[in-house]
Amino acid sequence: MLRLESVCAGYHGLQILHEVDLEVNEGEIVALVGANGAGKTTTLRAASGVISPTSGQITFQGEPAGGLRTAGLVARGLVHVPEERALFGPLTIEENLRMGAWTQRKTPMSGALAEVFELFPVLADRRRQTAETLSGGQQQMLCIGRALMARPKLLMLDEPSTGLSPKLTWTVLEAIGMIRDRGVAVLLVEQNAGQALRLADRAYVMESGSVVLGGTGAELADDDRVRAAYLGL
Ligand SMILES: Nc1ncnc2c1ncn2[C@@H]1O[C@H](COP(=O)(O)OP(=O)(O)O)[C@@H](O)[C@H]1O
Ligand SMILES: [Mg+2]
């Protein structure tokens, strides 16, 4: 569904990504792990049209996506949740969620809203509270919930567990598993490699702007190099 082939990209003429190849198929959770600065966020930015690749191919559902505007990609079903949680603090949870559905103006919102509340019951309980009153974990749930309001086919999440306790991290990762089970593919960037590899169907390891390893989540979790470099084992 999403395919990056030999993608090179960077900032202000400085090349960060070197011939990145990566694929996400329907119904999969694919984890992208690697040290800080490896190029994970840059990969998501290239895939979602925030930055343009300098060379290589990006296709989404078989059609070229490289160079497309982000809004066009959202309408086609590719939604990127960046690491910084850009919520509307003074607005309520429900209002924040409704903003996520702006690409879906022709479809009634109630179904999507009910699905988000089913996934994150704590948001339903607090729907009339403002976003700024939520804890970090609840804000992360709201970011994911808002992305789901756009009815994505592929959800790209950048470090959803940042700043969360291990218990809340697992709550969020479990919800990501349920999202996959509802038919939404997920590309998950995580520094928390151990948990991400356990959850993921497949995974890639990035180093210095290149994909250096790929395999099933279980294969990579058992790989000695991965264990030494990322899992501290
Ligand atoms: N907006 C930017 N402008 C210039 N350099 C950037 C920018 N964002 C990231 N970089 C650089 O790109 C490299 C990869 O960063 P990033 O993709 O954020 O890695 P990761 O998400 O794996 O931690 C780093 O060397 C970082 O300093
Ligand atoms: Mg990053």
Other Cβ atoms closer than 10 A to 113: 21
Decide whether any atom of ligand 1 lies within 6 Å of the 41 Cβ.
Answer: yes
Identity of residue 4: L
- Ligand 1, pocket-test mutation among 16, 18, 212, most atoms within 8 A of CB: 16
Query: What is the Cα–Cα distance from 70 to 29, expressed in whole angstroms?
Result: 21
Q: Indicate the domain borders of the chain.
A: 2-83+145-230
Nearest to 59 by CA among 42, 38, 40, 73: 73
Decide whether any atom of ligand 1 lies within 6 Å of the 39 Cβ.
Answer: yes
* pLDDT at residue 203, rounded to an integer: 97
Q: Where are the beta strands (DSSP E) in the chain?
A: 2-11, 14-24, 29-33, 55-60, 63-64, 78-81, 154-158, 185-190, 202-207, 210-216
Say how many Å lie between the CA of residue 200 and the centre of ligand 1.
24
**pLDDT < 70: residue spans in the chain:** 66-67, 105-108, 232-233
* pLDDT at residue 67, rounded to an integer: 63
Q: What is the DSSP letter of 48?
A: T
Say how many Å lie between the CA of residue 136 and the centre of ligand 1.
24
Give the CATH fold of the 2-83+145-230 domain. Answer: Rossmann fold (3.40.50)
In this prediction the pTM is: 0.94
Q: Which ligand is nearest to the CA of 209?
A: 1
* pLDDT at residue 102, rounded to an integer: 76
* pLDDT at residue 165, rounded to an integer: 87
Say how many Å lie between the CA of residue 208 and the centre of ligand 1.
10
Residue 225 dihedral angles phi and psi, to the nearest 5° = -65, -40
